[in-house]
Amino acid sequence: MTAPSGSAAHLQAILPLVSAERMAATVTALAADDFTGRRVGTAGGAAARAWLAAQLSDLGATVNTDDFPVRAVPEVYAAPMVVWGEGETSTRLVFGREVAVHSASADTLKVRRGPLGVAGSGDPSGRWLVVPTGMNLSDAARAARGAAGLLVSRAADADGWQYTVLAGPDPGSLPILTLNADTHHAVLTAATTGGGWWSANTPLRRRDVTGTNIHARFPAAAPGGIKVLLTAHYDGVGDHPGLRQPGASDNASGVAVVLEAAQILAAARPAGVGVAVALLDAEEVGALGSAHHSRQLHAGDVRPLVINVDGAGLLDQAAAVEACGPAHGLLALLDQAGRHTGLALAAGPVASDNRRYAAAGLAAVGIGAGMAGYHSPADTPDRVDSHTLEAIARLVVATACLAAPAPATVSSSIGDKR
């Protein structure tokens, strides 16, 4: 590269190096069966981590991993057996679509059968209680002494899935199942008319596991340079028994963008910019990997500019940007990079690891560009848009490059205090 680092000419030279094909291949690899959806503490998560560490090493980075404890990660360890009926008829419900295990459910492997009832009405003993829409679950649980369990309504997504959520309340003492709207309506009707029975188990356990972040360091910036930390979480909500949940958009796509940006920057990094990568674990259980890492940075008084990518799957008009911490200058760089690459940006929530870094006092932005099939079996590689991958990777590369001359050439109209 002969153009000055961070200049328009330099960007013109390196942005064409971004490869959508390479990123699509990364997404496909991370979404593969072997990695089982990459839930924290699983063999699939470990396999994905080993693969990612090798990828980073191949880019010439110094790679290390860092462990931290993660408590009570929910795991559906068997597909629930759920059958209900009225009179002579019976219906077996489809796990993931018509019925799912509530994350606050007690763990019961043994099937319980009992008559249907309505929560808050009549004697609950031995009954599966349907919680009417609008009734508070805590109120229902208080009125369910001796009940077999609770049945609550839950909205399904556009693909008909009850998507998985790992971060949630502590388990209660009752089995709890969630039903899609149609099933809930039918079962509530049966319970209200005094008929119907329900037979089900709720095989949901909690495991204390170890989360592991992956860190990659490239050659440091020249003295006085800017440190840029590129982050993305590589964990997913994980497969259920009989249900693959590949986690392609969330967040194999973000990891692919970060790897691609790191590859480009490793080869054509401006001298004034130091680049590091953190691929984070345990985001799906409450952003614990970034919480762990941000504490370390804070303790070491290391203050990089943090660019986090979560969801680069399906751009619709503009990429969302959320900023926190002393991020005025970083936002100005991002704005300039967006204008240079032609990517529209808009303020929008990116509830992800960027918030942990910001809470530690770092300049941090989260970038999100949409996703299909959120936390469900429908989050597959074919639904990750290659143009979106390319647009976000170009944005990240440009932002990092523009950081090099920032003190001299980039000013912010929004209160940059850097």
Q: Which is nearer to another protein, 221 or 395 (CB)?
A: 395
> Residue 347, interface with another protein (CB under 8 A)?
yes
What is the per-residue binding string for another protein in 256-285, x denoting contact by CB under 8 A?
A: ---------------------------x--
Candidates 250, 260, 385, 390: give the one binding another protein (CB under 8 A): 250
Alpha-carbon separation of residue 298 from 176, 254, 277 (angstroms): 41, 24, 17
Give CA–CA dist 253/25, Å, rounded: 10
**Strand 108-118 with 99-101, pairing:** unpaired
From residue 30, how far is each of 13, 39, 46, 99, 253 by CA, in Å?
29, 12, 12, 28, 9
Q: Which residues contact 6 (CB under 8 A, 6 or more apart)?
A: 270, 272, 273, 401, 402, 403, 404, 405, 406, 409
From 18-26, 106-114, 258-266, 317-325, give the range in contact with another protein by CB under 8 A: 317-325
Q: What is the largest CA-CA distance in the chain?
A: 81
Closest CA to 253 of 38, 16, 58, 73: 38
Decide if residue 365 touches another protein (CB under 8 A). yes
Does position 307 interact with another protein (CB under 8 A)? The reply is no
For another protein, the binding residue among 299, 300, 342, 417 (CB under 8 A) is: 342
* By the rule CB under 8 A, 26 interacts with another protein: no
Does residue number 418 form part of the binding site for another protein (CB under 8 A)?
no
Site map (CB under 8 A) of another protein, residues 366-385, x = contact: --xxxxxxx-----------
Nearer to another protein, 155 or 408 (CB): 155
Contact string 169-188 vs another protein (x = CB under 8 A): xx-------x----------
HSE, CB side, 13 Å, CA atoms: give it for residue 304.
24
Q: DSSP class of residue 394?
A: H
- For another protein, the binding residues in 384-413 under the rule CB under 8 A are 412
Choose which of 327, 362, 397, 403 interacts with another protein (CB under 8 A): 327
User: How would DSSP label each residue in 149-172?
Assistant: EEEEE----TTS------S-PPP-
Tell me if 220 contacts another protein by CB under 8 A: no
